[in-house]
């Protein structure tokens, strides 16, 4: 394990009776990055993250978190903080009581007053956790995770069930944590979230890694075409077809769609159109994203709320 690696997973397999939830996956996470596992429900995301958190035993394979075998739960949790999917806190507990209780679990806890202040929750100290909104509850669960003063923060489907505004504010918080030097290991089924937040993405499908890398790498690896469309009265399908990088052209009345790729695809097209006096209007271009990578790899769309 190199000095920069904080998590290494080697041949991880998780089986439940007949079901193989995670099938022989391997990857590494580097210090200070936001690493995200993305995939549909049942892809094995939670099984994977829970093996790293020591909450689940792998059937096979080796997992190493900060040089600790996660089976050594009590040692591991001196160094990591977690937010668990769907986990809640006692029914009648107040925010401050919860924070105080979790602070007592650590030798050198982070000051929860400061954390609550930073997450704009200071005025909710006396509030019952169950009375908070979804977004506020998730903020509390991050505060509780951070009381550990963790080097790595594990977030399992943090933004599921939150409204768009609360999701965006979670994204800001996560970016903030990374800027503070923490490593973030997260799972999500939102493509836009992974695209926006993750330095590296691990796309899981049916317990296996379908693709892994930066968003840009995944898009390049998938050899996805960009799409540029415009309307023109003097263009012809044939000439457009001949532009460098163009793979495929469709025409619908005077609207043309160019599919193709290349490092400077957009610029090449515009330059060709201008140099050849082809008039164009309503030009728009669509860059492929993770959603398209997923579609290409699996043949179906994950969708916004899968």
Q: Helix, strand, or coil here: 193?
A: helix
The neighbour count for residue 109, using CB atoms within 10 Å, is: 17
Closer Cβ to other proteins, 23 or 187, answer by number: 187
Contact status, residue 49 vs residue 37, Cβ threshold 8 Å: yes
Rounded distance, CA 241 to CA 107, Å?
67
- Site track for other proteins across 141-180, x = CB under 8 A: -------x--------------------------------
Closer Cβ to other proteins, 90 or 134, answer by number: 90
Contact status, residue 70 vs residue 52, Cβ threshold 8 Å: yes
Buried b / exposed e along 71-94 (16+ C-beta atoms within 10 A): eeeeebbbbbbbbbeeeebeeeeb
The neighbour count for residue 95, using CB atoms within 10 Å, is: 27
The neighbour count for residue 265, using CB atoms within 10 Å, is: 22
Rounded distance, CA 157 to CA 85, Å?
6
**Nearest approach, Cβ of residue 56 and other proteins (Å):** 10
104: contact with other proteins by CB under 8 A: yes
Closer Cβ to other proteins, 148 or 273, answer by number: 148
- Site track for other proteins across 69-88, x = CB under 8 A: ----xxx-xx---x-x-xxx
105: contact with other proteins by CB under 8 A: yes
| Binding residue (CB under 8 A) for other proteins from 13, 22, 37, 53 | 53
Closer Cβ to other proteins, 91 or 172, answer by number: 91
Which helix (DSSP H) or strand (DSSP E) does residue 128 occupy? none
Closer Cβ to other proteins, 110 or 168, answer by number: 110
238 burial (CB, 10 Å; 0-12 / 13-18 / 19+) is: exposed
Rounded distance, CA 95 to CA 220, Å?
46
**Nearest approach, Cβ of residue 103 and other proteins (Å):** 8
Closer Cβ to other proteins, 105 or 300, answer by number: 105
Closer Cβ to other proteins, 74 or 126, answer by number: 74
Per rule CB under 8 A, count of chain residues that contact other proteins: 26
The neighbour count for residue 276, using CB atoms within 10 Å, is: 12
| Binding residue (CB under 8 A) for other proteins from 67, 90, 134, 161 | 90
Closer Cβ to other proteins, 68 or 168, answer by number: 68
Of the ranges 100-108, 168-176, 194-202, 224-232, which one interacts with other proteins (CB under 8 A)?
100-108
CA dihedral sign, ordered 160, 162, 165, 166: negative
**Nearest approach, Cβ of residue 41 and other proteins (Å):** 18
102: contact with other proteins by CB under 8 A: yes
89: contact with other proteins by CB under 8 A: yes
Interacting residues with other proteins (CB under 8 A): 53, 55, 73-75, 77-78, 82, 84, 86-93, 97, 100-106, 148
């Amino acid at each position: 394990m190199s000095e920069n690696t904080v998590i290494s997973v080697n041949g991880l397999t998780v089986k439940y009776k007949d079901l193989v939830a995670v099938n022989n996956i391997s990857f590494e996470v580097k210090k200070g990055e936001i690493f995200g596992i993305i995939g549909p429900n049942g892809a094995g995301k939670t099984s994977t993250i829970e093996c790293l958190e020591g909450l689940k035993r792998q059937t096979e394979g080796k997992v190493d978190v900060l040089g600790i075998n996660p089976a050594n739960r009590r040692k591991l949790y001196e160094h990591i903080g977690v937010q668990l999917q769907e986990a809640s806190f006692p029914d009648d507990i107040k925010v401050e009581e919860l924070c105080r209780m979790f602070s007592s679990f650590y030798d050198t806890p982070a000051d929860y007053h400061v954390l609550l202040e930073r997450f704009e929750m200071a005025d909710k100290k006396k509030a019952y956790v169950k009375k908070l909104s979804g977004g506020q509850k998730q903020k509390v669960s991050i505060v509780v995770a951070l009381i550990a003063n963790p080097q790595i923060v594990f977030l399992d489907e943090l933004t599921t069930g939150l409204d768009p505004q609360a999701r965006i504010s979670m994204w800001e918080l996560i970016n903030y944590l990374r800027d503070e030097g923490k490593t973030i290991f997260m799972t999500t089924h939102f493509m836009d979230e992974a695209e926006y937040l993750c330095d590296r993405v691990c796309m899981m499908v049916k317990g296996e890694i379908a693709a892994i890398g930066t968003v840009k790498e995944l898009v390049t690896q998938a050899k996805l075409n960009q799409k540029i469309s415009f309307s023109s009265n003097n263009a012809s399908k044939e000439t457009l077809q001949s532009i460098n990088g163009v793979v495929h052209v469709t025409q619908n009345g005077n609207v043309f769609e160019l599919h193709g790729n290349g490092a400077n695809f957009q610029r090449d097209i515009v330059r060709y159109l201008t140099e050849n006096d082809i008039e164009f209007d309503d030009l728009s271009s669509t860059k492929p994203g993770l959603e398209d990578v997923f579609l290409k790899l699996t043949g179906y769309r994950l969708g916004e709320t899968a």
